Amino acid sequence: MTIEDNGTDFRHPELWDTPDRIGRELAHYMDHIYRHGMTTTSGGNLSVIDGLGNIWITPSGTDKGSMKPDDAVCVAPDGTVEGLLKPSMEYPLHREVYKARPDIRALIHAHPPVLTSFSIVHRVPDTSVVSSWREICGSVGYAKYAIPGSLTMGEMVASEFRKGHDAVIMENHAVVAGGKDLAETLARLEVLECCAGAIHAAGFLGEIVIPEYIRENRSGQPAGSHAHLTGLDMISGAGGNAMTPGEEYQADEICRLAARACSRGLMYGCCGTLSARSGENGYLITPKDILRCELTSLDVEMVRYRDTTGNSTIAGGETGTGRNGCTENEWLMSEIYRRFPSVKAVIMAQPPNLMAFAVTGREIDVRIIPESWLLLREMPVVSSAALAPDNEEIFGKLAAGSPAVLISNDSVLVTGESLLQAFDRLEVAEMTARSLITGQSLGSVKPVSGQDISELRRVFGITE
């Protein structure tokens, strides 16, 4: 099928390149899910289907932690197998899903620990708990148990995909995610696992609260909250070609910290935004729809805000959405940089333990250890309505001295006088949230006393 056939282009690089390239992609993504604990040595499999109907799949009975490009197996439409090894025993599952959904061109079947927990309690994560997760994950289905590798299992999973689901929880097994390519499929899988982790952690805190507009509005945003965005003239730069040497260094640092954030579980898929001030009226920012673990400096966008409203542009006055498109909350970044000259970096992210607080509306008491209090002071919670362009709540919290704000059902926003300081605050915030949740399972959490906080203020020269 080509774009001329029905106006839809399902192609992606893995599918229209050499077998060597396809093998490298399969090995790369298998290595990723193994290193990130989403499968085990013997478990998990992934595949792509090319334009000729060949299914390229990972092999059976091999070490998933050391797959090589040459290990990829090609199964032709007539069942002919080419490769050094046998195809995964789950090949029938992949074949049946591709038959059911021609728009799906890549599949990942893995065993992420929290999603596996959902599968054994026969439950599907509610992705609407966070405003953007439902949009990324799509619809999530549930398939009854069947013997692994059997045609029955393949047909049962495929029937769920046929209903329009983009990922399927497999009863007492794990999960299968699909997408137009391996990158989109991995992003969907990682977001779904984080969603499951946040729901699990929220169970230690209290009742999950999902605003009605999020349940009713697929975009997950308050009505009209982004209606102004098209009028903001959001325009991005041309990556490294438009940058000074200093900005190129900043772009490299953004990519380095994005990769570290992924390795630390602070970011995943295409979720998470890092930005750093550049000059008096501009900043660098991560783009949409690119895996955070695979960002390069050429992906990083340059934004210029040109007036007191925070409207943004690039040098040269071009218009458009940039090569990769701007983030939905770019207007918020522009306004923070415009209003707060001391802020040199802003990060927005959705790590699971912080999001457990975000979906329950619980405030985080950062007085658990000195480092938490010294770096964060406090972390107020605001409603997701604060993301509307005419809402002053976030700016008010930042002006009052809070370097980090938790946005209900959306994200955490942290600021810093440098990108590294903002990243440090993000790490400490997630550590604090995790420690509080774990602490509640052990006993009564006892924060640092007011007297000891006063002593910290004295020793470190901190005024009110």
The edge-to-edge listing of strands for the beta sheet with 140-143 is 81-82, 73-75, 55-57, 45-49, 106-110, 174-179, 167-170, 140-143
Rounded to whole angstroms, the Cα distance separating 304 from 295 reads 21
In degrees and rounded to multiples of 5, residue 395 shows phi and psi of -65, -35
The string over 427-459, giving b where at least 16 C-beta atoms fall within 10 Å of a residue's C-beta and e elsewhere, is bbbbbbbbebbeeeeeeeeeebeeeebeeeeee
Contact between residue 92 and residue 151 where contact means Cβ atoms under 8 Å apart: yes
Residues paired with 175 in a beta bridge = 110, 169
In angstroms, rounded to a whole number, what is the distance separating the alpha carbons of residues 51 and 180?
12
DSSP state of 198: H
Query: Going by DSSP bridges, is the β-strand pair 167-170/140-143 parallel, antiparallel, or unpaired?
Result: parallel
Number of H helices, E strands in the chain: 15, 16
CB atoms under 10 Å from CB of 339, counted, come to: 13
Residue 90 appears among annotated catalytic residues: yes
| Dihedral angle computed from the Cα positions of residues 168, 170, 173 and 176, in that order, rounded to the nearest 10 degrees | -20
Q: Which of 14, 25, 90, 330 is catalytic?
A: 90
End-to-end Cα spacing for the chain: 65
Q: Which residues have a Cβ under 8 Å from the Cβ of 438 and sit 6 or more positions away? A: none
CB 413 within 8 A of CB 351: no
The whole-angstrom distance between residue 60's C-alpha and the CA centroid of its chain comes to 29
Q: How far apart are CA 44 and CA 27, in angstroms?
A: 12
Which among 414, 399, 424, 410 has a CA at the least distance from the CA of 357?
410
Question: b/e for 1-11, b at 16 or more Cβ within 10 A?
Answer: eeeeeeeeebb
List residues with catalytic annotation: 90
